[in-house]
Chains A and B, each alone.
Chain A
Protein backbone atom coordinates (compact mmCIF):
# COMPACT_ATOMS: atom_id res chain seq x y z
CA UNK A 1 0.00 0.00 0.00
CA UNK A 2 1.55 3.32 -1.08
CA UNK A 3 1.79 6.18 1.33
CA UNK A 4 -0.56 9.11 0.94
CA UNK A 5 0.94 12.19 -0.72
CA UNK A 6 1.41 15.38 1.26
CA UNK A 7 3.43 18.51 0.44
CA UNK A 8 6.76 18.47 2.21
CA UNK A 9 6.26 21.94 3.64
CA UNK A 10 3.69 24.68 3.98
CA UNK A 11 4.26 28.09 5.51
CA UNK A 12 2.22 31.10 6.48
CA UNK A 13 2.32 34.26 8.53
CA UNK A 14 0.59 34.58 11.88
CA UNK A 15 -3.14 35.08 11.42
CA UNK A 16 -3.19 33.62 7.94
CA UNK A 17 -4.87 30.40 6.87
CA UNK A 18 -3.05 27.46 5.38
CA UNK A 19 -4.26 24.20 3.87
CA UNK A 20 -2.42 20.90 3.77
CA UNK A 21 -3.50 18.40 1.14
CA UNK A 22 -3.40 14.64 1.44
CA UNK A 23 -3.83 12.78 -1.83
CA UNK A 24 -4.60 9.11 -1.91
CA UNK A 25 -6.50 6.85 -4.24
CA UNK A 26 -10.08 5.89 -4.88
CA UNK A 27 -9.40 2.75 -2.87
CA UNK A 28 -8.36 4.49 0.34
CA UNK A 29 -9.16 8.18 0.88
CA UNK A 30 -11.81 7.99 -1.81
CA UNK A 31 -13.53 4.94 -0.35
CA UNK A 32 -13.58 5.59 3.39
CA UNK A 33 -14.50 8.51 5.59
CA UNK A 34 -11.72 7.37 7.90
CA UNK A 35 -9.17 10.11 7.34
CA UNK A 36 -7.42 11.47 10.39
CA UNK A 37 -4.77 14.13 10.97
CA UNK A 38 -1.97 14.20 13.54
CA UNK A 39 0.24 17.01 14.79
CA UNK A 40 3.75 16.20 15.96
CA UNK A 41 6.11 18.65 17.62
CA UNK A 42 9.84 17.81 17.63
CA UNK A 43 10.67 15.08 20.10
CA UNK A 44 7.03 14.54 21.02
CA UNK A 45 4.45 11.89 20.29
CA UNK A 46 1.83 12.59 17.62
CA UNK A 47 -1.46 14.15 18.70
CA UNK A 48 -4.83 13.46 17.07
CA UNK A 49 -6.27 16.67 15.62
CA UNK A 50 -9.01 15.50 13.21
CA UNK A 51 -10.73 12.14 12.76
CA UNK A 52 -13.36 10.76 10.39
CA UNK A 53 -12.46 13.53 7.93
CA UNK A 54 -14.07 16.45 9.77
CA UNK A 55 -14.41 15.70 13.51
CA UNK A 56 -12.31 17.38 16.18
CA UNK A 57 -11.50 15.61 19.45
CA UNK A 58 -12.33 17.47 22.62
CA UNK A 59 -9.74 20.13 23.36
CA UNK A 60 -8.54 20.62 19.80
CA UNK A 61 -8.79 24.19 18.56
CA UNK A 62 -11.70 25.10 16.29
CA UNK A 63 -9.16 26.85 14.08
CA UNK A 64 -8.45 23.41 12.62
CA UNK A 65 -10.87 21.87 10.16
CA UNK A 66 -10.85 18.89 7.86
CA UNK A 67 -12.50 18.13 4.55
CA UNK A 68 -12.40 15.67 1.70
CA UNK A 69 -13.11 15.77 -2.01
CA UNK A 70 -12.85 12.59 -4.07
CA UNK A 71 -9.53 11.04 -3.08
CA UNK A 72 -7.94 14.14 -1.58
CA UNK A 73 -8.34 15.15 2.04
CA UNK A 74 -7.36 18.55 3.42
CA UNK A 75 -6.51 20.09 6.76
CA UNK A 76 -7.02 23.82 7.12
CA UNK A 77 -5.52 25.84 9.93
CA UNK A 78 -7.00 29.30 10.22
CA UNK A 79 -5.61 32.18 12.28
CA UNK A 80 -2.16 30.60 12.19
CA UNK A 81 -0.29 30.80 15.50
CA UNK A 82 3.30 30.09 16.52
CA UNK A 83 2.17 26.96 18.39
CA UNK A 84 0.88 25.50 15.12
CA UNK A 85 4.45 25.09 13.86
CA UNK A 86 4.91 21.31 13.73
CA UNK A 87 4.78 18.30 11.44
CA UNK A 88 1.33 17.14 10.32
CA UNK A 89 0.45 13.66 9.09
CA UNK A 90 -2.70 12.44 7.43
CA UNK A 91 -3.86 8.84 7.70
CA UNK A 92 -6.52 6.77 5.99
CA UNK A 93 -7.96 3.31 6.23
CA UNK A 94 -6.86 1.37 3.18
CA UNK A 95 -7.53 -1.84 1.27
CA UNK A 96 -6.23 -5.14 2.65
CA UNK A 97 -7.26 -4.02 6.14
CA UNK A 98 -4.44 -1.60 6.81
CA UNK A 99 -3.90 2.02 7.74
CA UNK A 100 -1.69 4.21 5.59
CA UNK A 101 -0.04 7.52 6.52
CA UNK A 102 1.06 10.44 4.44
CA UNK A 103 4.72 11.37 4.35
CA UNK A 104 4.16 14.38 6.57
CA UNK A 105 4.09 18.15 6.08
CA UNK A 106 6.26 20.60 7.98
CA UNK A 107 4.29 23.72 8.84
CA UNK A 108 6.36 26.84 9.37
CA UNK A 109 4.98 30.03 10.89
CA UNK A 110 6.89 32.90 9.33
Chain B
Protein backbone atom coordinates (compact mmCIF):
# COMPACT_ATOMS: atom_id res chain seq x y z
CA UNK B 1 0.00 0.00 0.00
CA UNK B 2 1.32 3.44 -0.94
CA UNK B 3 1.58 5.56 2.17
CA UNK B 4 2.90 8.97 3.15
CA UNK B 5 3.22 9.84 6.82
CA UNK B 6 3.98 13.41 7.83
CA UNK B 7 5.31 14.57 11.18
CA UNK B 8 6.88 17.57 12.85
CA UNK B 9 3.93 19.93 13.03
CA UNK B 10 3.74 22.01 16.18
CA UNK B 11 2.75 25.29 17.80
CA UNK B 12 5.59 27.76 17.38
CA UNK B 13 6.11 31.46 17.88
CA UNK B 14 6.53 33.85 14.97
CA UNK B 15 10.12 34.05 13.81
CA UNK B 16 11.00 30.55 14.99
CA UNK B 17 11.89 27.50 12.91
CA UNK B 18 10.32 24.11 12.35
CA UNK B 19 11.24 21.01 10.37
CA UNK B 20 8.56 18.84 8.80
CA UNK B 21 9.19 15.28 7.71
CA UNK B 22 7.43 12.84 5.44
CA UNK B 23 8.22 9.14 5.27
CA UNK B 24 7.09 7.19 2.22
CA UNK B 25 6.37 3.51 1.79
CA UNK B 26 4.83 1.19 -0.77
CA UNK B 27 6.46 2.64 -3.90
CA UNK B 28 9.89 3.39 -5.38
CA UNK B 29 10.40 6.72 -3.63
CA UNK B 30 13.60 7.46 -5.53
CA UNK B 31 11.75 7.48 -8.87
CA UNK B 32 9.24 10.22 -8.15
CA UNK B 33 9.08 13.91 -7.46
CA UNK B 34 7.58 14.99 -4.16
CA UNK B 35 5.75 18.08 -2.93
CA UNK B 36 4.38 19.90 0.08
CA UNK B 37 0.95 21.46 -0.22
CA UNK B 38 -0.69 23.35 2.63
CA UNK B 39 -4.24 24.18 3.60
CA UNK B 40 -5.53 26.62 6.16
CA UNK B 41 -8.40 24.77 7.91
CA UNK B 42 -11.63 25.57 6.11
CA UNK B 43 -9.78 27.22 3.21
CA UNK B 44 -8.22 26.23 -0.09
CA UNK B 45 -5.04 24.47 -1.12
CA UNK B 46 -1.70 26.17 -1.69
CA UNK B 47 1.36 24.53 -3.28
CA UNK B 48 4.44 25.18 -1.15
CA UNK B 49 7.36 23.38 -2.72
CA UNK B 50 8.36 20.50 -4.98
CA UNK B 51 11.53 18.48 -5.54
CA UNK B 52 12.54 16.23 -8.40
CA UNK B 53 13.53 12.59 -8.00
CA UNK B 54 17.25 13.27 -7.66
CA UNK B 55 17.02 16.67 -5.93
CA UNK B 56 18.32 18.22 -9.15
CA UNK B 57 15.43 20.66 -9.39
CA UNK B 58 13.48 22.29 -6.57
CA UNK B 59 10.68 24.82 -6.76
CA UNK B 60 9.19 27.11 -4.14
CA UNK B 61 6.08 29.25 -3.94
CA UNK B 62 6.77 32.96 -3.82
CA UNK B 63 5.09 33.13 -0.41
CA UNK B 64 7.79 30.94 1.17
CA UNK B 65 10.82 31.51 -1.05
CA UNK B 66 13.90 32.35 0.97
CA UNK B 67 12.42 31.04 4.20
CA UNK B 68 12.08 27.34 3.51
CA UNK B 69 14.33 24.58 2.19
CA UNK B 70 13.08 21.32 0.74
CA UNK B 71 15.27 18.24 0.69
CA UNK B 72 14.97 14.49 0.30
CA UNK B 73 16.89 11.39 1.32
CA UNK B 74 16.18 8.61 -1.14
CA UNK B 75 18.06 6.08 0.98
CA UNK B 76 15.64 6.71 3.84
CA UNK B 77 12.50 7.29 1.70
CA UNK B 78 12.09 10.62 3.40
CA UNK B 79 11.26 14.20 2.55
CA UNK B 80 12.05 17.18 4.76
CA UNK B 81 10.83 20.77 4.83
CA UNK B 82 12.93 23.17 6.88
CA UNK B 83 10.85 26.24 7.69
CA UNK B 84 12.54 29.35 9.07
CA UNK B 85 11.31 32.81 10.06
CA UNK B 86 7.80 31.45 10.46
CA UNK B 87 4.89 33.86 10.13
CA UNK B 88 1.32 33.66 11.38
CA UNK B 89 0.21 33.24 7.77
CA UNK B 90 2.17 29.97 7.60
CA UNK B 91 -0.40 28.43 9.93
CA UNK B 92 -1.90 25.51 8.01
CA UNK B 93 -2.16 21.77 7.62
CA UNK B 94 0.85 20.66 5.59
CA UNK B 95 0.39 17.74 3.23
CA UNK B 96 3.17 15.69 1.71
CA UNK B 97 2.30 14.53 -1.81
CA UNK B 98 3.81 12.13 -4.33
CA UNK B 99 3.99 13.27 -7.93
CA UNK B 100 2.97 11.17 -10.90
CA UNK B 101 6.34 11.73 -12.52
CA UNK B 102 10.04 12.19 -11.78
CA UNK B 103 10.11 15.98 -12.04
CA UNK B 104 8.07 18.31 -9.85
CA UNK B 105 6.91 20.48 -12.73
CA UNK B 106 5.54 17.85 -15.11
CA UNK B 107 2.32 16.35 -13.83
CA UNK B 108 0.19 16.29 -10.68
CA UNK B 109 -0.07 15.32 -7.02
CA UNK B 110 -1.02 11.66 -7.13
CA UNK B 111 -0.93 10.47 -3.53
CA UNK B 112 -1.38 12.58 -0.39
CA UNK B 113 -0.58 12.00 3.24
CA UNK B 114 -2.94 12.94 6.06
CA UNK B 115 -1.06 16.12 6.90
CA UNK B 116 0.70 17.66 9.88
CA UNK B 117 -0.56 20.84 11.51
CA UNK B 118 1.66 23.89 11.88
CA UNK B 119 0.39 26.70 14.08
CA UNK B 120 2.36 29.94 14.26
CA UNK B 121 1.19 32.09 17.12
CA UNK B 122 2.59 34.08 20.01
Q: A34-B107, A38-B109, A93-B105 are in contact. Are A46 and B61 (CB under 8 A)?
A: no
Instruction: Indicate whether A51 sits within 8 Å of B45 (C-beta atoms), given known contacts A45-B95, A45-B112, A45-B113.
Output: no
The binding surface of chain A is classed by DSSP as strand
Q: Would A100 and B108 count as touching, CB distance under 8 A?
A: no
- Give CA–CA (A36, B106) in the complex, Å: 11
Considering the complex, which residues of chain A in the window 69-110 have a beta carbon less than 8 Å from any beta carbon of chain B? 89, 91, 93, 96-104
Q: How many residues of A contact B (CB 8 A)?
A: 24
Instruction: Across the interface, name the chain B residue whose C-beta is closest to A51.
Output: B108
- Contact A36 B62, beta carbon cutoff 8 Å: no
**What is the number of residues of chain B that contact chain A, defined by CB distance less than 8 Å?**
23
Report whether B45 and A104 are in contact in the complex, using a CB–CB cutoff of 8 Å.
Answer: yes
Assuming the contacts A36-B108, A46-B109, asked whether A101 and B115 have C-beta atoms less than 8 A apart, the reply is no
A34-B106 in contact (CB<8A):
yes
Contacts of A102 in B (CB 8 A): 44
Q: Are B50 and A99 in contact (CB under 8 A)?
A: yes
In the complex, the 6 A-B pairs of residues with the closest C-beta atoms, listed nearest first: A51-B108, A36-B108, A99-B47, A45-B112, A101-B45, A104-B44
| Interface residues of A, Cβ cutoff 8 Å to B | 1, 3, 34, 36, 38, 45-48, 51-52, 57, 89, 91, 93, 96-104
